[in-house]
Amino acid sequence: SVVAEILAAGREMLSHPIEPLAHARETVEKLAGSYRLVLITKGDLFDQERKLAQSGLGDLFDAVEIVSDKSATTYARIFSRHGDGPEKSMMVGNSLKSDVVPAIDAGGWGVHVPHELTWVLEHVEPPRAAPRFRQIADLGELPRLIESIVSSG
């Protein structure tokens, strides 16, 4: 009976609608014409593909990378494969531990977008001393941040 309850809970979770973060669609649409956008996500391949399809955002990305580990090595490889290397790349995410810190360690920019539903295991201290670290309140601030970074050279 316990296994049946676990399976039922899993099926219920899968049926919940996907809710992109605030300003996600308009920000991705705004950036898509000017920058190469690659979605990097971690987890089960089928579950991540399902969530991306349900979000309606999949067609806005130039590529999608579903990885088993988000490390500096992983980001360096993806940044080189899909762009001009880490130095000209940026990872934007709600996890300091999985998104921001390893991207900075790879040589890229790391932009933290805090979210109240971040797993406790993903909490680390913000790398405030890192020159390529930025934090924004929501994704709507991202185009302006990118413009300020690009214009400062």
- Average pLDDT taken over every residue of the chain: 91
The confidence score (pLDDT) of residue 82 equals 96
The vertex-105 CA angle with 121 and 87, nearest 5°, equals 135
Residue 130 pLDDT > 80, yes or no? yes
Angle (deg, nearest 10), helices 142-151 and 24-32: 30
Domain count, the chain: 1
The confidence score (pLDDT) of residue 59 equals 92
The vertex-52 CA angle with 107 and 45, nearest 5°, equals 75
- Which band of pLDDT confidence, cut at 50, 70 and 90, is reported for residue 5? confident
**Poorest-confidence range of 33-42, 43-52, 142-151?**
43-52
The confidence score (pLDDT) of residue 89 equals 97
Strand (E) or helix (H) holding 50: helix 45-55
- The single residue listed with the structure tokens 């992109």 is 20
Identify the CATH number of the domain in which residue 128 sits. Answer: 3.40.50.1000
**Residue 44: which domain range?**
2-151
The confidence score (pLDDT) of residue 88 equals 95
Amino acid occupying residue 57: L
pTM as predicted: 0.86
